Amino acid sequence: MFGAQGWMLILPSLILILGVVSDLKSRKIPNKLNLILYITSLIYVFVYAGFTGVMTGVVSSLIICAIMFPMVAAKIIGAGDLKLMLPFAVCIQYGIVFWVLIYSLFWAAVLGVIRVLIQGQIKTLFQNMVTITTTKSDENIKLHTLPFSVALLFGWLSYLIISGGL
């Protein structure tokens, strides 16, 4: 059913699915889960791609960490989302990880607007935008949050569809 490349899509997909389930259940992605996933990813990549694949995966992890850490520091995404991307990045080439992140940011925006519309808080969203742009402060805004892991999964699925991987 799967060729060698098809098998390489299973673990990254499973990593994101487990992250989404955990995030939706508890609004957290536990460190223990991330550690298990990272070690599993290293073993998985070693079996399918050898030591060179592991080194490429570690470089991918470092690149995604460098890209996502400023977003964590700015509280745009949670640290659990960054930690979830580390084992994912081990399994995927860094160019692909970059595009998954870009698609994920798009999905986060779309899902955020959908959530605001469903909750009937579009007025609050616009008030927040005006407050941030006019006062340069976010002290008096009401945050609209969503689990970014869902956007990560959607970003991965988008990449697979666009690239013809599905």
The arithmetic mean of pLDDT across residues 26-54, rounded, is 92
C-alpha gyration radius of the chain: 17
Tokens of 85: 């991307």
The pLDDT of residue 121:
77
Which helix (H) or strand (E) covers residue 148, if one does? helix 148-163
Could you identify the residue written with the tokens 């592991």?
A: 54
Please, which pLDDT band fits residue 7 given cuts at 50, 70 and 90? low
Tokens of 31: 């460190």
The pLDDT of residue 136:
63
Please, which pLDDT band fits residue 2 given cuts at 50, 70 and 90? very low
Q: Is the pLDDT of residue 125 over 50?
A: yes
DSSP 78-141: -HHHHHHHHHHHHHS-HHHHHHHHHHHHHHHHHHHHHHHHHTT-HHHHHHHHHHHHHHS--TTP
The answer to whether residues 90 and 38 touch, using CB atoms and an 8 Å cutoff, is yes
Q: Is the pLDDT of residue 35 over 50?
A: yes
How far is residue 148's CA from residue 159's CA, in Å, rounded to a whole number?
A: 16
> Largest alpha-carbon pair distance within the chain?
57
How far is residue 54's CA from residue 43's CA, in Å, rounded to a whole number?
A: 8
Local structure of residue 142 (DSSP, 8 states): P
> How do the domains of the chain map onto residue ranges?
4-163
The structure's pTM equals 0.84
User: CB neighbours (10 Å) of residue 31?
Assistant: 11
